[in-house]
Structure 1
Amino acid sequence: MTAVWIIAAIMLTTAAVFTMFRLLSGPSTLDRLVALDTLVAVTMCGIGTWAAFSLDTTVTYALTALALISFVGSVSVARFRVPDIEEPGRSA
């Protein structure tokens, strides 16, 4: 059973590394926002995996808080972001 936890940890770490690469190299703010949401989702999966491995349910409060904060932050950025490039023919 330990092999399952090791494989899960390797997969989550690999996903976090690829997501960080996308977060740092994304050409637009929306690409970075999607990468940040993905990184939060990977973090939540990691916390859930840790909760299942350690049989500790106290971290589930952190999952709930992280989900709510992530949702509100994503909606706020998507609503109030400034366009990266001015579109031709569109005035402010």
Structure 2
Amino acid sequence: MKELVLVITAVVLSLAAAGAIIRIAIGPSLLDRVLASDVLLAILGAALAVDMAVNRHLNNLMLLVALAVIGFIGSVTVARFVAERRARSNDS
């Protein structure tokens, strides 16, 4: 049963990662690409969490925390950049 759940999870995460990579490649705007890269980072974190749950270890916990922090800081930075850019364009 555990192997079946692992295979299903791997397939779902792989399809989601492929979709995010396609969106990064063809995304029409910067925000589409940033959102897709954030989703890809979350998928990588989910894969690490599944690995830790299946193998019953905590070896990747620090990496998982680092990925979460990097994803959060990156999203906030881009959101502030876009908000500032829109404010400048509205002032003109």
Gaps of 5+ in 1: none
* 1:20 alignment counterpart: 21
Give, in angstroms, the shift of residue 53 of structure 1.
1.2
Root mean square deviation, CA, Å? 2.0
What residue in structure 2 maps to residue 30 of structure 1?
Answer: 31
TM (norm. structure 2) is 0.84
TM-score scaled to structure 1, two decimals?
A: 0.84
The number of residue pairs the alignment matches comes to: 88
The runs of 5 or more residues in structure 2 that have no matched partner are none
For 1:45 and 1:78, the matched residues in 2 are separated by: 23
Percent of matched pairs sharing the same residue:
37
Please give the per-residue CA displacement for 1:17-62, whole angstroms capped at 9, x wherever unaligned. Answer: 0111011111001111111111111111100001111111121111
| Aligned residue in 1 for 2:43 | 42
Cα distance between partner residues in 2 of 1:11 and 1:80: 32
Q: CA deviation at 1:80?
A: 2.1
Question: Per the alignment, in what secondary structure is the counterpart of residue 58 of structure 1?
Answer: coil
Partner of residue 4, structure 2: 3
How far did 1:90 drift? 5.6
Supply the distance in 2 between the matched residues of 1:9 and 1:19 (Cα, whole angstroms).
Answer: 15
Instruction: Quote the Cα distance in structure 2 between the aligned partners of 1:24 and 1:53.
Output: 32
Runs of 4+ in structure 1 over 6 Å off:
none
